[in-house]
Amino acid sequence: MPYPQLLTPEERLADAKKRLSLPGIVVICGSTRFMTEMAEADLRETKAGKIVVKPGCDMKSRHELWSSDPVEAEALKVRLDDLHRAKIRLADEVLVVGDYIGDSTRAEIAYARSLGKPVRFTHPEVDPDA
């Protein structure tokens, strides 16, 4: 008698999203210099009926939560990078915003592709794998 095949965590997540009839989830990636463009992409993706997750902090802009202590700011950046990778794992697809790809965004694209996530670009010419 064959044993039932156990589902991977990714398969269980996909199954749960399907059972809950959740709309597609898109994660927005890109340099925080494009926060305005990310907000516009959020509007367009939301209008298209998708759940949108995106960076919530622009650490290049001064803010009391990270501007006073450089050591804490660096620790926060590490936590935010981990959080964004979790958003990529949660999402069904990735939308890269902007006409510039830095090292962090390049790493996010590679991570998403390693997970088999489709990746779209607002500026396809910047796709590092094109």
Tell me: the pLDDT tens digits for 46-65? 999 999 999 998 888 888 87
CA–centroid distance for 21 within its chain: 21
d(CA 73, CA 62): 11
As a residue count, the chain comes to 130
pLDDT for 130 equals 83
Domain assignment of residue 60, yes or no: yes
- Does this model's pTM top 0.85? My answer is yes
Domain assignment of residue 62, yes or no: yes
Quote the number of domains for the chain: 1
Domain assignment of residue 18, yes or no: no
Domain assignment of residue 4, yes or no: no
By the 10 Å C-beta count (0-12 exposed, 13-18 middle, 19+ buried), 49 is classed as exposed
